[in-house]
Amino acid sequence: MLQIRSLNKSFDGFKAVNNANLDVQKGEIVAVIGPNGAGKTTLFNLITGVLKPDSGEVIFKNENITGLPPHEICKKRISRSFQVVNVFNRLSIFENTQISILSREKRTWNLFTPSSKLAVEETNELLRNVGLYEKRDRISGALSHGDRKVLEIAMALGGNPEFLILDEPTAGMSPEETTRCIDLIKGLREKFGLTILFCEHDMEIVFGIANRIMVMVRGATIIQGTCEEVRCNEAVQDAYLGGSDVCLM
């Protein structure tokens, strides 16, 4: 479904992404892991159009989407959540999610119908699916961190995506919140048939739900493979044990 071919991106001579290659099949859950600064977020930014690659291609469903601006990428039904919570702080959870849905329904140029009358049922249903329905009128700037991260995911889902990119979805969450979030992701994937690409630092999660794993270190891809292949790979063990305090079980 998604193919990344030889993606490269440098910042002032620093190679953030070095010849990245990846294939994601429909319905898979693929994880990208690597120490901090390995280039995972940059990779996601390149796929979603926030950054333009120096060279290489991103192909989605046989269409070349390299370098398209983010709002075009969204229209191809690729959605994304951010590592640092990126929501509309002054608006309520309901409004945040509703905007995402209104955008998908191409209603953003509607100047005269009150928003309160549009997409209410769809918004409520989405909120129920992610478990935020009871809190829907709270201002998102005032929520707990865990709730805000779930809202991130809700907003990504508002675009009714086929392909979901999650950048450290459980970062900063407490253990209960993390379990809830993972169950949520698994449930959503089953219910909506999503293909998911995500990155995480928590290896339990990664080995728990990913079908395949891609390992990046300092911008370069070390290995792509199943959980078993990655676990036993020496280069990966080097990279992790050699500098990070993440432990591969």
Partner 1 sequence: MVTGFFSGKGKIWWIVALVVLCIVPLVLPRFYVYMLSIILLFGLLATSNDFPLGFGGLYQLHHAVFYGVGAYATAIVITKSGLSPWLAFLIGPIISAVLGLIMGLICVRLSKLYFGMLQISLGSLVWAVVFRWYSFTGGDDGIHGITVPDIISSYQGAYYFTLIITGLSLFIMYRILKSPYGSVLQGIRDNPVRSAMIGVNVKKHQLLALIIAGFFAGLAGVLFVVVDNTVFPDMLFWTLSMETTIMCLLGGWLTFLGPMLGAAVIILVRTFVSTYTVYWGLALGIIAGLVIFFMPNGVLGWFQDVFKRKANLAEVKE
Residue 48 CA to chain centroid, in angstroms? 10
Q: Does 90 bind partner 1 (CB under 8 A)?
A: yes
With both helix axes pointing from N to C terminus, report the angle between 145-158 and 120-130 in degrees, rounded to the nearest 10. Answer: 130
Segment near partner 1 (CB under 8 A); pick from 9-17, 63-71, 187-195, 221-229? 63-71
Question: What residues contact 175, with CB distance under 8 A and at least 6 apart?
Answer: none
CB of 96 or CB of 195, closer to partner 1 = 96
Asked if 99 is part of the footprint of partner 1 (rule: CB under 8 A), the reply reads yes
Contact between 82 and partner 1 by CB under 8 A: the answer reads yes
- Pick the stretch among 89-97, 187-195, 201-209, 222-230 that binds partner 1 (CB under 8 A): 89-97
Phi-psi region of 245 (alpha: psi -120 to 50; beta: other; left: phi over 0): alpha
Q: Which of 2, 24, 74, 164 binds partner 1 (CB under 8 A)?
A: 74
Of 195, 190, 117, 119, whose CA–CA distance to 156 is shortest? 195
Least distance from C-beta 153 to partner 1, angstroms? 12
CA distances from 191 to 72, 74, 162, 194 (A): 25, 20, 12, 8
Is residue 100 near partner 1 by the rule CB under 8 A? Answer: yes
Interface residue with partner 1 among 24, 47, 58, 87 (CB under 8 A) is 87
Tokens of 182: 């993972």
Footprint of partner 1 on this chain (CB under 8 A)?
A: 48, 50, 69-71, 74-75, 79-80, 82, 86-92, 95-96, 98-100, 102-104, 107-116, 118, 139, 142, 155-156, 158-159
